[in-house]
Amino acid sequence: MEIILRKTIDTLGREGEVVSVKPGYARNFLIPQNLATAVNTASLARLQKEQAAIAKRLAEEKKNAEALAAKLENLTVTLSRKTGTEGRLFGSVSGGDIAEQLGKMGITVDRKNIMLRELIKSVSETKVSVKVGYQMTSEITVQVTPEMAAE
């Protein structure tokens, strides 16, 4: 089944593209979630009229993604956590913790866009990829240090 994407979906394509997907995926998910419309003459005509606005939106999205990638390039995020023996953390560091720390630094990133392979559970320095938009990623360094006990 062919559909027109109304929003950019990483696994399918960009807004305004005509893509082919399985009918059940289109009928049960994409169309009800207002992420796509079925291809017909009326929807194709509407797409032709909206092409300029879509191109402008995508250019703006690309510009914002490149600006965010430039901010994140070579950035080190330092988090202090309570540790036990052998440098193991009580708990772990998740994407939400990293996003919160980035927010304190003035950089807004959704926690879902921080791609951790697994939760950080020890004192270490880890490279983490961050989706910045427009199908681009940037890499930051997350440094987990032991929390100093107040004496």
pLDDT digits (tens, 9 = 90+) for 60-93: 989 999 999 999 988 999 999 998 878 888 889 9
Check whether residue 99 and residue 51 sit in a common domain.
Answer: no
pLDDT at residue 149 tops 60? no
Q: What is the mean pLDDT of residues 5-12?
A: 89
How far apart, in whole angstroms, are the C-alpha atoms of residue 141 and residue 116?
12
Check whether residue 114 and residue 47 sit in a common domain.
Answer: no
Check whether residue 125 and residue 76 sit in a common domain.
Answer: yes
Check whether residue 34 and residue 93 sit in a common domain.
Answer: no
pLDDT at residue 9 tops 80? yes
- Which of 63, 89, 107 terminates a domain? The answer is 63
Q: What is the mean pLDDT of residues 101-113?
A: 92
End-to-end CA distance of the chain: 67
For the entire predicted model, the pTM comes to 0.76
Number of folded domains that form the chain: 2
Residues 6 or more apart from 96 whose CB is under 8 A from it?
111
